[in-house]
Amino acid sequence: MHTETVHITPYRTHAWVLITLLALTFVTITVTWIDLSALTVAIALLIASVKAYIVLTYFMHLKFESSLFRVFVIMVLAIYVLVILFTLSDYLFR
Amino acid sequence: MEHRDDIGAKLGMWVFIFTEILLFGGLFLVYAIMRSSYSVEFHQAAHHLNAFIGSINTVVLLLSSATVAMSITAVQKGNNKLAVILLFITLLCAAVFMVNKYFEWGHKIHIGLYPGSDLMLTLSHGQVMFFSLYYFMTGLHMFHLVVGGIILTIVMVKVHRGTINPGRYVLLENGGLYWHLVDLIWIFLFPLLYLIT
């Protein structure tokens, strides 16, 4: 019988993750007050992606799961990026 | 000896999450294309959205995600009582989110901004597109929030009864994963719908 080592994330880590996410939310909101036209969307999406990465890594515990989970997530995101690229290339260059 | 496979259970949950990502992913793709076709109309229409309520709801959802994550730590440490309190805070956050949404949608419906309304017929095609996507995407998200709330209520009862305990808590983990997905979707919905004015 094998015993698996269970990773217990400390409360403190979750608290810091929450603070980081709230800070990033604040940044997203303040950035929209400054008019950067086309850049605004890019920055908003960049910050949202960073937040998503943090949620996936810590809250969704991917950092401490077997690497199989990470490989799956990366593959699904890659498929989604391909779908976006194919669709946009059709729309933008037809 | 009881046979169970916690990693398998989690992997199954992730496969389900992938289908959800692709479901919302399709909608985000529609949003991207419509926005590139009607950028001016999207800007005008987004002025009707209440960025303040949107911001409050973002904070509420992030907080609720953190408390779910902490409840797993609590169960792992054998502190079921604290886990129940943390899950209750999560459900409270979900309720606050719903109440905010009620006022937000209620106000829009009151002034006649809803799919198929007389006012909507007078708007340009791009603005109608924006409001349709707004109602559909936030509506579908809200549906997920309600389902997540039901799942976490069941999980909370099981934690209280001790059927979820330090030796067996994969249901709490999977419920948590679903809740984080709801959070994840909102992380993208919020800036794309509320902050594009």
- B142 in any annotated domain: yes
Contacts with B, A 17-36, CB within 8 Å: 17-18, 21-22, 25, 28-29, 32
How many CA atoms are closer than 13 Å to the CA of A28, on its beta-carbon side? 32
Mean pLDDT of A74-83: 96
Looking at the predicted structure, is the pLDDT value of residue B141 above 50? yes
Asked if B107 and B195 count as a contact pair (C-beta separation under 8 A), the reply is: no
| Contact assignment for B187 to A18 by CB distance below 8 Å | no
What are the beta bridge partners of residue B168? Answer: B165
From the CA of A48, how many Å to the nearest CA of chain B? 6
Structure tokens at B85: 């309190």
Mean pLDDT of B127-141: 96
Q: What is the pLDDT of residues A22-62, one digit of tens each?
A: 999 999 999 888 766 678 888 999 999 999 999 999 999 99
- B1 in any annotated domain: no
| Contact assignment for B29 to A29 by CB distance below 8 Å | no
For position B166, what pLDDT does the model report?
95
Hey, where are the domains in chain A?
1-60, 66-94
From the CA of A25, how many Å to the nearest CA of chain B? 8
- B93 in any annotated domain: yes
- B36 in any annotated domain: no
Q: What percent of chain B has pLDDT over 90?
A: 92
Question: Taking all residues of chain B, what is their mean pLDDT, rounded to a whole number?
Answer: 95
pTM: 0.94
For position B9, what pLDDT does the model report?
96
- Please write down the HEC assignment for all residues of A26-79: HHHHHHHHCCCCHHHHHHHHHHHHHHHHHHHHHHCCHHHCCHHHHHHHHHHHHH
Q: Which of the two residues, B60 and B120, has the higher pLDDT score? A: B60
- B58 in any annotated domain: yes
- B74 in any annotated domain: yes
**Quick one: pLDDT band at residue B3, thresholds 50, 70, 90?**
confident
Residue B177, domain CATH? 1.20.120.80
Per-residue burial over B32-48, b if 16 or more Cβ lie within 10 Å, else e, is bbbbeebeebbebbbee
Q: What is the pLDDT of residues B69-123, one digit of tens each?
A: 999 999 999 999 999 999 999 999 999 999 999 999 999 999 999 988 999 999 9
For A5, which DSSP code?
P
Nearest Cα residue to B115 out of B143, B141, B147, B137: B137
C-alpha A88/C-alpha A70 separation (Å) is 27
What is the span of the domain harbouring residue B190?
A: 6-31+51-194
Partner A contacted by B8 (CB < 8 A): no
Partner A contacted by B12 (CB < 8 A): no
How many domains is chain B partitioned into structurally?
Answer: 1
Looking at the predicted structure, is the pLDDT value of residue A1 above 60? no
Q: Which of A16, A51, A66, A89 to mutate to test the interface with B (most CBs of B within 10 A)?
A: A51
For position B136, what pLDDT does the model report?
97
Give ipTM to 2 decimals. 0.94
C-alpha B143/C-alpha B23 separation (Å) is 14
- B108 in any annotated domain: yes
C-alpha B98/C-alpha B72 separation (Å) is 24
For position B2, what pLDDT does the model report?
77
> In residues, how long is chain B?
197
